[in-house]
Structure 1
Amino acid sequence: MKLLAIVAHPDDADIFCGGTIAKHADRGDTVTIAHMTKGEYGGFDTDRETVAETRAEEARRSGDELGAADVTFLGFPDGRIEYSLENRLEIVETIREHDPDLILTHYREDMHPDHRVTSRLVTDAYYMASLPLVETEYEPCDPDNVYCFGKPTSTFEPTTYVDISGYENRKAAAIDHHESQVAFLEEHGGIDAEFDNLIEGVAAENATLGKKTGVNSAEGFLALHEQANDYLG
């Protein structure tokens, strides 16, 4: 099976679905993490290019930690992702290039503007990717579903839970590879209270979802459309 995670920034995949990615990779599934941006606004350095390259390298190390087969960057500007037909077609191209069975992305009502636009671009491109008259370099493909992840500061209510018990330390290690971002968020998290202790906060949220579903730790997703579910777990 092939899994494609399309996320707005380096560290989003690790925080929201790192355990799920590692679990799928361990059973032999091919996982790709595609970052819309390099997160050049999220750092202490005044040179955005330096921040971007630091964060990209951290994301590559984190992807290796989780067992991702590929970590890629789509070149959108951090903090300025816009919804347009041109950008939607670029995501269609990305989906077709990787031909995934499942796509993971942000929840549409997330408080971060980049997360919201990414969600809308991905879910709309998911539909267009299967249309033969939408012409791109790659052939049409038809992924089975899109699973959206969210954060506790939104109205996100999961319908699908993945047991990540036993993957807690690996997920924490993956997040910790984003050394520059962990430090930045803990100092500049602002209204996002969980950033005060990022790794501990993420672990606590996963433990809460686990308790809700009868396991030690879990990650939650909202399926774009409901269907029989043989995997994602």
Structure 2
Amino acid sequence: MAPLDLIPLPVDWRRALVLMAHPDDPEYGIAAAVAEWTGQGKDVAYVLATRGEAGIAGLPPHEAVPLREQEQRAACQAVGVEEVSFLDYPDGRLEETLQLRRDLAREIRTFRPDVVVTLNHRDTWGPGAWNSQDHQVMGRSVLNAVADAGNEWIFPELAEQGHRPHTVSWTAVASTRPTHYLDVGQRALDCALRSLSAHRRYLEALSDRPVEEQAAEQLALVTGGRPRISFEVFGL
């Protein structure tokens, strides 16, 4: 359960860009918040570093790619997100490179969001729960790319290509050290449940339990049993 002394997230913004490593990362962390935001008329887009091709045991990557992309688009539709794109980095092998930072900075400069959202960049999710390298690398790279996007002297080739510098107001991380929260309504929670359930083949590979049961359990973990999504916020 989130601490009681968290600060409400600001509401005076219009555009958010969600930058995460894999299909299903938004659904395991922030989907209810996204549904709340799109329900308020805010514009939210997703960019995923990989297509999640290494994520389903027994399913070869070349078969997993179209399936995972299809499931992610269905998940986006459930929470009101119309724009999702993939950077085609290799699933499970993300590295903290200048190229990744440059690509993320380009996406930020292109969409020009007020807010950037990403996933936990720390080593663990808590005691005994290791965080994957892809999540760690992506989270740190996003935080650096936010700064890069606003600096005219880092990656000047982006400006030459028409991607002018852009300053993000703040960055929200679905992390283990929350500082802020967003209250979400039942509609948003229902949308979030449908969005994670859209990753049906992925969830079926994880457990024999019904997909909707798995999704409901995960949503309860994310919210701590309360109608609230918490974030660690940088830049406010």
**Separation in structure 2 between the aligned mates of residue 60 and residue 199 of structure 1, nearest angstrom:** 17
Deviation at 1:94, TM superposition (A): 1.1
**Separation in structure 2 between the aligned mates of residue 102 and residue 185 of structure 1, nearest angstrom:** 32
Name the structure 2 match of 1:83. 96
Asked if 1 retains the 8 angstrom alpha-carbon contact of 2:104 and 2:142, the reply is: yes
Q: Of residues 182, 194, 200 in structure 2, which corresponds to 1:179?
A: 200
Name the structure 2 match of 1:115. 135
Provide the aligned C-alpha RMSD in A: 1.7
Does 2:145 align with 1:133? no
Name the structure 2 match of 1:16. 29
**Separation in structure 1 between the aligned mates of residue 150 and residue 223 of structure 2, nearest angstrom:** 37
Deviation at 1:207, TM superposition (A): 4.4
Amino acid at match of 1:208: G
Deviation at 1:141, TM superposition (A): 0.3
Q: Of residues 107, 125, 132 in structure 2, which corresponds to 1:94?
A: 107
Give deviations 1:140-194, integer Å, cap 9, x for gaps: 10010110003xxxxx12111111231221111010110111112226xxxxxxx
**Separation in structure 2 between the aligned mates of residue 75 and residue 119 of structure 1, nearest angstrom:** 17
Asked if 1 retains the 8 angstrom alpha-carbon contact of 2:36 and 2:185, the reply is: no
Judged with a 3 Å threshold, the aligned counterparts in structure 2 of structure 1 residues 130 and 207 are, in CA distance, closer, same or farther, namely closer
Asked if 1 retains the 8 angstrom alpha-carbon contact of 2:184 and 2:229, the reply is: yes
How many matched pairs?
A: 207
Identity of aligned residues (%): 23
Residues 23-42 of structure 1 mapped to structure 2, 5 A cutoff:
23-42=36-55
Q: Of residues 196, 213, 219 in structure 2, which corresponds to 1:203?
A: 219
**Separation in structure 1 between the aligned mates of residue 202 and residue 92 of structure 2, nearest angstrom:** 15
Name the structure 1 match of 2:229. 219
Amino acid at match of 2:191: R
**Separation in structure 2 between the aligned mates of residue 207 and residue 6 of structure 1, nearest angstrom:** 20
Does 2:116 align with 1:103? yes
Amino acid at match of 2:168: P
Give deviations 1:168-223, integer Å, cap 9, x for gaps: 21111010110111112226xxxxxxx9x63132232244262xxxxxx1111000
Deviation at 1:44, TM superposition (A): 3.7
Compute the TM-score of the two structures, normalised by the length of structure 2: 0.83
Deviation at 1:96, TM superposition (A): 0.7
Amino acid at match of 1:172: L
Where do 5+ consecutive residues of structure 2 fail to align? 1-13, 125-130
SS in 1 for 2:172: strand
Asked if 2 retains the 8 angstrom alpha-carbon contact of 1:42 and 1:184, the reply is: no
Where do 5+ consecutive residues of structure 1 fail to align? 151-155, 188-194, 211-216, 228-233
SS in 2 for 1:129: helix
Compute the TM-score of the two structures, normalised by the length of structure 1: 0.84
**Separation in structure 1 between the aligned mates of residue 58 and residue 228 of structure 2, nearest angstrom:** 35
**Separation in structure 1 between the aligned mates of residue 108 and residue 220 of structure 2, nearest angstrom:** 32
Amino acid at match of 1:147: A
Asked if 1 retains the 8 angstrom alpha-carbon contact of 2:68 and 2:199, the reply is: yes
Asked if 2 retains the 8 angstrom alpha-carbon contact of 1:209 and 1:219, the reply is: no
Amino acid at match of 1:223: V
Higher relative contact order (CA 8 A, sep 6+): 2
